Amino acid sequence: MDEILFDEKNTRLQIEAASWEAAVGIGGELLVEQGCVEDSYINGMLQKVNKHRMDVVIAEGIAIPHTRYEDGAFRVGVSLVTLKTPLSFAESEEKVKIVLCFSAMNIQDYWHMVSFALDLIEYNVLDQLAEAKTLEEVRSVMALC
């Protein structure tokens, strides 16, 4: 997991989601389709958002839905969903435009994904990433980090 790559299998851009649950579901389905998790993992992510929103919405504009590997993860994975219309997660006042779902198999994988998300914030690229309309634009934003 040295480098996080986004491609047509793990990325959906400018999605119109009816709710934060739908947005997490889209990201979770991408993880399922990649063979990283089973369907139960999606339910685990939804439950975690409901219980621990602060662990998921890490800053204005970005949420990192995830749950424990025991909830149905098979391997490390990531999915990126950007939202055309920002959504509030659970009781959060922050509006989320980027949903970065991930599965981790151990604490090192977990911290790698959290570090990646924090880099997006530190390098101040959330707005650019949220506005990307193509994978090429996503890759250009990632090159800034």
Catalytic residues: 66
| CA distance readout (Å), 2 to 11, 49, 68, 141 | 19, 27, 21, 18
Alpha-carbon span 125 to 96, nearest angstrom: 14
Question: Are 22 and 89 within 8 A, CB to CB?
Answer: no
Nearest Cα residue to 65 out of 111, 23, 93: 23
